[in-house]
Amino acid sequence: MSQSAASHLHVLDDRDGARETGPVIHVAHLGREYVLGDETVYALRDVTLTIDANEYVAIMGPSGSGKSTLMNLLGCLDSPTSGEYWLRGQLVSGMTDKELARVRNREIGFVFQTFNLLARSTALRNVELPLMYAGVPSAERHRRAIEALEHVGLADRMHHRPNELSGGQRQRVAVARALVNRPTIILADEPTGNLDSRTGADVMHLFDELHASGQTLIVVTHDADIAARAARRVVFHDGQIVADGPTGRAGGLEVSQSGRAGATPMRIET
Ligand code: ADP
Ligand code: MG
């Protein structure tokens, strides 16, 4: 990391301990089925994946291929029906809802396509919320939430409610909320899906900075340009990984809409 990126990203600097290395996420033979009457939907099938600290991974694949299902599992918003999920060496699959809530609050920052802000609360209150759940005292909560909002360039909007902010500003509030707990990993499910391309680019620039500061990031996107900002791209089709390899940033590959890898250096998983 460059010195300038390090000093700019003070929000992340006082994270306890040194920068982590090695696997942050390991899932093995992960499956998620939905039973709907007599029909079973296999949303994820036998997914095995390891993501190391400070990786920036783009998840791609057609609609219905299981991307959000995976993100919800990784984000401890849902539990798998088969397989194992290890997060920083803790076996998350099989935890109770209460344990999952605790892991989610400590380890995960989630950014949703639809922002998911509390409509009647100010930007500041929205960003403070995860710290309230974590039991952080109010003065420190306040200080850290302001710092996170400064970090996303919204210090002058902290007393505004979501309906007084533009889409891009709302998503930046959501990014501030995601990073205020200094999470191990930030998960973003189509974070620019509701934004125009220019506003989306601003949000993605923020992710680039977070990555430069040492943040581990997983971003779901349909947009090849956005995926190219990540170093690694994992492609899903029918609930399975069909390609996993370096992006254009590292190699120069294109992936077709069908989710099939189009060029050689990608590793095809069967
Ligand atoms: P993506 O995010 O790639 O568009 P999803 O993970 O949302 O795909 O969905 C994967 C599959 O699982 C789809 O066939 C979808 O219809 C199904 N699915 C997702 N959520 C549910 C649910 N709550 N109940 C039943 N089926 C679901
Ligand atoms: Mg989805």
Instruction: Convert the pLDDT of each residue in 14-69 to its tens digit.
Output: 444 456 678 999 999 999 999 999 999 999 999 999 999 999 999 999 999 999 99
The closest residue, in CA terms, to atom 16 on ligand 1 is 64
- C-beta neighbour count of 114 within 10 angstroms: 12
For residue 118, give its domain range: 3-14+53-76+106-246
Helix, strand counts (H, E) of the chain: 9, 10
In a domain, 48, yes or no: no
In a domain, 111, yes or no: yes
In a domain, 194, yes or no: yes
State the Cα–Cα distance between residues 232 and 263, nearest whole angstrom: 14
In a domain, 63, yes or no: yes
In a domain, 94, yes or no: no
Residues 185-194: tens digit of each pLDDT:
999 999 999 9
**Ligand at shortest distance from the CA of 59:** 1
Residues in Cβ contact with 16 at an 8 Å cutoff, skipping those fewer than 6 apart: none
Q: Domain holding 114: CATH number? A: 3.40.50.300
In a domain, 44, yes or no: no
Q: Which helix (DSSP H) or strand (DSSP E) does residue 236 occupy?
A: strand 232-237
Question: 102 C-alpha vs ligand 2 centroid, how far in Å?
Answer: 24
Q: Which atom of ligand 1 is nearest to the CA of 66?
A: 6
In a domain, 57, yes or no: yes
Residues 189-247: tens digit of each pLDDT:
999 999 999 999 999 999 999 999 999 999 999 999 999 999 999 999 999 999 999 98
In a domain, 126, yes or no: yes
How large is the average pLDDT for residues 79-95? 95
Q: Which atom of ligand 1 is nearest to the CA of 220?
A: 2
Beta strand 185-189 pairing with 108-111? parallel
- C-beta neighbour count of 261 within 10 angstroms: 19
- State the burial class of residue 78 (Cβ atoms within 10 Å of its Cβ: 0-12, 13-18, 19+): middle
Q: Which two three-digit tokens encode residue 141? A: 């909560």
Q: How many domains does the chain have?
A: 1
CA dist 62 to 177, 200, 239, 240, 255, Å? 28, 20, 10, 12, 11
